[in-house]
Amino acid sequence: MLKANLPNILTLANLASGALAIIATFEQRYDLLLWLLAASLIFDFLDGLVARALKVHSELGLQLDSLADMVSFGLAPGLLWFKVFSLAADGGEPLPAFLPYLALLIPLFSALRLAKFNIDTRQSENFIGFPTPANAVLIYSLALWALNTDNATTEAILLHPFFLTAIAIASSLLLVAEIPMLSLKVKDFSWKNNKARILLVVAIVLLFTLLRFRALAFVIPLYLLISLLFKPGKKA
């Protein structure tokens, strides 16, 4: 019984981490958000890994995984972006009353992305469109950078209504764009089949060495760039 349900337990841990991130956002416990995002990402990685290792795939697990991802990588980042919009308004930026609600595009398009993924047979090895975990990393990193910077110029850029609006719209559209995206699933250890993944990992390590948590804001554009350059799914 435990063996069959272990992946689902890990998926529920992902969901719990996402729910806690929402609570932390509205209690302004921003110091916890990266830890909770990391927990969601780890549990999301482990549930599939454990299911494959134990050979206990199930339709229940597939649906539960999407529901957990919707909360952790759709609703939680969307509400965080809504909070950043609100803080920008409190800081004196002139915002139309409706503008913060554009942040809700993030969970709406995340739901559409996850539903499409479940029925799209083309995405067994690589992704079509931006994965919801990657989008969540982008939103969290930019939001936390804006909330923790001591540089007035950086803060002015990151909290500018135009920038906030552009990120909400662009990241949402990328989720459903017909763009092949690199998957981190490894089927063998050859350089030919993994050079894009290896380059991405090396670049991420360098970015974190130089920029620490701010590297997250650059990791996702780098991931997008490498996906576009190497065009996953096409024969070399």
The CATH number of whichever domain residue 92 belongs to comes to: 1.20.120
- Output helix, strand, coil percentages for the chain, rounded to the nearest 5: 80, 0, 20
Which structural domain range is residue 19 located in?
Answer: 2-230
pLDDT for the residue 112: 94
pLDDT for the residue 184: 66
Distance CA 111, CA 105 (A): 10
pLDDT for the residue 167: 94
pLDDT for the residue 205: 82
179 secondary structure, DSSP code: -
Residue 225 CB neighbour total at 10 angstroms? 12
SS3 (DSSP) at 180: strand
Residues of the chain with pLDDT under 50: 235-236
Is residue 235 a part of any domain in this protein?
no
Is residue 180 a part of any domain in this protein?
yes
Is residue 67 a part of any domain in this protein?
yes
Cα-to-chain-centroid distance, residue 104: 15
pLDDT for the residue 109: 97
Residue 26 in contact with residue 83, Cβ under 8 Å? yes
Is residue 174 a part of any domain in this protein?
yes
pLDDT for the residue 235: 43
74 secondary structure, DSSP code: I
pLDDT for the residue 36: 95
Is residue 157 a part of any domain in this protein?
yes
pLDDT for the residue 236: 38
Tell me the pTM.
Answer: 0.84
Distances (CA, A) of 228 to 176, 182, 196: 15, 9, 11
> What ranges in 55-190 are assigned the alpha helix state H?
59-70, 76-90, 105-119, 132-148, 152-158, 161-176
For 10-62, how does the pLDDT look when each residue is reduced to its tens digit (9 = 90+)?
999 999 999 999 999 999 999 999 899 999 999 998 888 888 788 877 888 88
Domain count, the chain: 1
